[in-house]
């Protein structure tokens, strides 16, 4: 009884985090992007510096008509936003926040689970692109697929390097084995993982699947109202998950001064610092071309990830 | 990270451009470690974030307009003689003037009665006006002025034709003319007035200097 209640509470906490943190990141993006461009960003909604802008956006989206195009594959079209969004909720359950069981649900094969489920999220935009019966949506969906294929590999290799270093595929196990010198040791892997994750989330500068100047809004072109908002939310939930994962795998998660009491704060700090970097990159860099994207994945990231894997193996053999 | 050809070229170009304004560290765009242009790009956005934004929060804070702003045309109807020059010169014919003549009775039985123009209507259609300012330039009697006032948007285009009362009200928003240059010539009015005053003062001084009882020799 007690365990069931506890599990329920944990799930509820994860749900609350899932519903609020992406909005915090979205609002941060509004303001940071504005100031990086010499603007102020939203100033009115909610009174103080437009803090409620995303709430207002949500209300607006909820009021809009939910249109399904006549030629669309109705069921798949309507299901796609959920497929895009829910995997990130599931991933969030498995991410450890602090030491001593401060995690939604610790899994033995946490790393496998997290990476496998994150890959499902991209299926949402594939489904949306295919079901919309729109050539721009289809192009966007196919670009998403190509991007997923190209970037899943370096991401997995980089994650495998950490798992190899820790000798564990459990996220809590990896954090348990963490030492500070892992950060310089795994830095290349961290770069590859973070970059590949950005590409999987279709964040600028890797946002060709939604390149608005080329293919309108890619797979999401035909979406309106709440379903469109869910796709947008999934992007920010994806940022949260990617940043939390990078923090856990490569930056030591809860490790830091006073980690016994303030471990969760360290995880949050690292996550939000990385989220800031995600926004920063979006503001700074223009979109890559499709061929540049593929080149970058296959001739830069994958060799780097393999080199990191080799380095990890060598160091592991030397120190054991 | 090896830079991607076009992206990195773009960025080193942009960073150079800001180098002139912002005075960022580093010299030249080529050479250095790979990805230098990318790092410069990041530095530019980060530096911009720490600076004050350039946004003017207009409805909350009024803009500081230069005194010669062309906001709206104001009419000082006391100066208007209905010469119609403004209406004729207006390139898009947006000034409407109606007037009639009034006869003033003669002041002297030997003189004839004088007529004078009386302004009945003076309206400017600001939906046609292109703010060229020719009417203001051409007015010989200083009856038209630029006012920096700009908040007169209407929901109906017909309401943009403003009549003389409204144009007269805008006169209160006309800023005083800019001061003359320090060594500029005196304005004609003031020069004439000063000349008359000097003459009067000289005559009074001469009268005072004369011993009493003695007739001034003319």
Here the tokens at position B2 are: 């090896």
CB-nearest partner of B49 from A35, A285, A296: A35
User: What's the distance, Cα to Cα, between the start and end of chain A in Å?
Assistant: 45
Half-sphere exposure of B214 (CA within 13 A, CB side): 10
* CB-CB under 8 Å, A295 with B7: no
**If you ran DSSP here, which 8-state letter would residue B53 be given?**
P
Block residue for tokens 């947006």: B94
Nearest residue to B119 via CA among B86, B147, B89, B90: B86
Closest residue on chain A to B2 (Cα): A300
Distance (Å, whole) CA B68 – CA B177: 9
Question: For residue B6, which residues of chain A lie inside 8 Å, CB to CB?
Answer: 289, 292
Question: For residue B45, which residues of chain A lie inside 8 Å, CB to CB?
Answer: 36, 280, 283-284
Secondary structure of chain A in the HEC alphabet?
A: CHHHHHHHHHHHHHHHHHHHHHHHHHHHHHHHHHHHCCCCCCCCCCCCCCCCHHHHHHHHHHHCCCCCCCCCCHHHHHHHHHHHHHHHHHHHHHCEEECCCEECCCCCCHHHHHHHHHHHHHHHHHHHHHHCCCHHHHHHHHHHHHHHHHHHHHHHHHHHHHHHHHCCCCHHHHHHCCCCCHHHHCHHHHHHHHHHHHHHCCCCCCCHHHCHHHHCCHHHCCCCHHHHHHHHHHHHHHHHHHHHHHHHHHCCCCCCCCHHHHHHHHHHHHHHHHHHHHHHHHHHCCCCCHHHHHHHHHHHHHHHHHHHHHHHHHHHHHHC
Q: Is B121 helix (H, G, I), strand (E, B) or coil?
A: strand
Q: What is the pLDDT of residue B138?
A: 93
- Residue B119 has φ and ψ, to the nearest 5°, of -80, 125
Count how many domains chain B has: 1
Nearest residue to A249 via CA among A158, A184, A122, A116: A158
- Stretch A111-122: mean pLDDT, rounded? 86
Would residue B88 count as lying in a domain?
Answer: yes
* CB-CB under 8 Å, A40 with B53: yes
CB-nearest partner of B55 from A40, A286, A289: A40
Would residue B211 count as lying in a domain?
Answer: no
- A265 pLDDT higher than 90: no
Domain residues for the domain of B119 are: 72-105+113-173
From residue B104, give the alpha-carbon distance in Å to each of A103, A280, B84, B112, B119.
Answer: 98, 78, 21, 9, 15
- A203 pLDDT higher than 80: yes
A interface with B, Cβ–Cβ below 8 Å: 32, 34-40, 43, 191, 205, 280-281, 283-286, 288-289, 292, 295-296, 300
Would residue A72 count as lying in a domain?
Answer: yes
Give pLDDT tens digits for B52-104: 888 888 888 888 888 788 889 999 988 898 999 999 999 999 999 999 999 88
Would residue B134 count as lying in a domain?
Answer: yes
Give pLDDT tens digits for A36-93: 998 888 888 888 888 888 889 889 998 988 888 888 888 888 888 888 888 988 888 8
* CB-CB under 8 Å, B7 with A39: no
Task: Write out residues in chain B with pLDDT < 50, as ranges.
Answer: 1-29
Q: Which of B14, B50, B55 to mutate to test the interface with A (most CBs of A within 10 A)?
A: B55
* CB-CB under 8 Å, B45 with A36: yes
Distance (Å, whole) CA B33 – CA B31: 7
Q: Which of A28, A31, A33, A38 to mutate to test the interface with B (most CBs of B within 10 A)?
A: A38
Would residue B200 count as lying in a domain?
Answer: no
Here the tokens at position A188 are: 């290349």
* CB-CB under 8 Å, A38 with B48: yes
Would residue B156 count as lying in a domain?
Answer: yes
Domain residues for the domain of A197 are: 22-33+54-319
Q: How many residues does chain B have?
A: 218
State whether ipTM is beyond 0.85: no
Judge whether B1 is closer than 8 Å to chain A, CB to CB: yes
Judge whether B23 is closer than 8 Å to chain A, CB to CB: no
Would residue B135 count as lying in a domain?
Answer: yes
Higher pLDDT, A107 or A86: A86
* CB-CB under 8 Å, B45 with A38: no
* CB-CB under 8 Å, A32 with B7: no
Judge whether B158 is closer than 8 Å to chain A, CB to CB: no
**If you ran DSSP here, which 8-state letter would residue B119 be given?**
E
Block residue for tokens 């895009």: A84
- Residue B123 has φ and ψ, to the nearest 5°, of -135, 145
- Stretch A102-121: mean pLDDT, rounded? 80
Count how many domains chain A has: 1
CATH, residue B135: 3.30.70.3270
Q: What is the pLDDT of residue A164?
A: 86
A103: distance to nearest CA of chain B, Å? 34
Distance (Å, whole) CA B26 – CA A93: 46
Distance (Å, whole) CA B214 – CA B210: 7
Q: What is the pLDDT of residue A133?
A: 84
Q: Indicate the pLDDT class of residue A258, thresholds 50, 70 and 90.
A: confident
CB-nearest partner of A284 from B45, B53, B55: B45
Question: For residue B49, which residues of chain A lie inside 8 Å, CB to CB?
Answer: 32, 35-36
Do the beta carbons of residue B102 and residue B84 sit within 8 Å? no
Run of H or E residues at B192: helix B188-209
B40: distance to nearest CA of chain A, Å? 10
Question: For residue A43, which residues of chain B lie inside 8 Å, CB to CB?
Answer: 57
CB-nearest partner of A39 from B1, B42, B53: B53
Would residue A38 count as lying in a domain?
Answer: no
Question: For residue A40, which residues of chain B lie inside 8 Å, CB to CB?
Answer: 53, 55, 57
Higher pLDDT, A253 or A224: A224
Question: CA angle, B54 as apex, B49 and B58 as ends, to 5°?
Answer: 135
């Amino acid at each position: 009884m007690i365990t069931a209640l506890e599990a329920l509470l944990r799930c509820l906490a994860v749900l609350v985090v899932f519903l609020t943190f992406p909005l915090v990141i979205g609002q941060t993006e509004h303001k940071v992007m504005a100031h990086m461009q010499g603007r102020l960003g939203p100033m009115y909604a909610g009174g103080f510096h437009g803090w409620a802008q995303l709430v207002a956006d949500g209300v607006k989206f909820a009021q809009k008509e939910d249109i399904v195009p006549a030629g669309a594959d109705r069921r798949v079209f309507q299901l796609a936003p959920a497929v895009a969004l829910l995997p990130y909720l599931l991933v969030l359950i498995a991410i450890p926040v602090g030491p001593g069981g401060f995690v939604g649900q610790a899994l033995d094969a946490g790393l496998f689970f997290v990476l496998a489920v994150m890959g499902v999220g991209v299926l949402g935009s594939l489904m949306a692109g295919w079901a919309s019966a729109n050539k721009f949506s289809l192009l966007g969906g196919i670009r998403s697929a190509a991007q997923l294929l190209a970037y899943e590999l370096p991401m997995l290799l980089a994650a495998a390097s950490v798992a190899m270093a820790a000798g564990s595929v459990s996220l809590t196990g990896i954090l348990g084995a963490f030492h500070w010198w892992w950060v310089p040791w795994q830095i290349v892997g961290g770069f590859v993982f973070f970059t590949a994750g950005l590409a999987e989330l279709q964040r600028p500068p890797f946002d060709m699947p939604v390149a608005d100047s080329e293919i309108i809004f890619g797979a999401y072109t035909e979406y309106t109202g709440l379903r469109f908002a869910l796709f947008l939310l999934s992007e920010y939930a994806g940022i949260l998950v990617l940043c939390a994962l990078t923090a856990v795998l490569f930056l030591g998660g809860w490790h830091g001064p006073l980690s016994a009491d303030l471990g969760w704060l360290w995880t949050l700090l690292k996550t939000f610092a990385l989220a800031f970097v995600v926004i920063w990159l979006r503001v700074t860099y223009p979109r890559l071309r499709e061929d540049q994207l593929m080149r970058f994945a296959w001739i830069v990231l994958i060799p780097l990830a393999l080199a990191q894997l080799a380095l990890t193996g060598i160091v592991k053999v030397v120190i054991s | 990270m090896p830079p991607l050809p076009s992206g990195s070229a773009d960025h080193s170009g942009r960073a150079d451009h800001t180098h002139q304004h912002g005075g960022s560290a580093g010299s030249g765009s080529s050479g250095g470690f790979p990805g230098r242009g990318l790092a410069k790009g990041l530095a530019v956005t980060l530096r911009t974030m720490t600076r004050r934004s350039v946004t003017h929060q207009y409805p909350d804070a009024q803009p500081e307009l230069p005194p010669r702003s062309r906001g709206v045309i104001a009419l000082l109807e006391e100066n208007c003689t209905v010469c119609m020059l403004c209406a004729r010169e207006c390139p898009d014919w947006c000034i409407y003037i109606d007037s009639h003549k009034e006869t003033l009775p003669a002041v002297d039985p030997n003189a004839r009665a004088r007529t004078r123009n009386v302004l009945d209507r003076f309206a400017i259609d600001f939906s046609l006006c292109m703010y060229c300012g020719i009417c203001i330039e051409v007015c010989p009697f200083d009856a038209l002025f630029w006012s920096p006032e700009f908040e007169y948007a209407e929901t109906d285009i017909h309401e943009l034709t403003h009549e003389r009362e409204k144009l007269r009200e805008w006169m209160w928003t006309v800023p005083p003319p800019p001061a003359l240059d320090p060594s500029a010539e005196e304005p004609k009015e003031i020069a004439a007035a000063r000349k008359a005053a000097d003459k009067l003062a000289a005559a009074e001084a001469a009268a005072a200097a004369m011993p009493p009882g003695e007739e001034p020799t003319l």
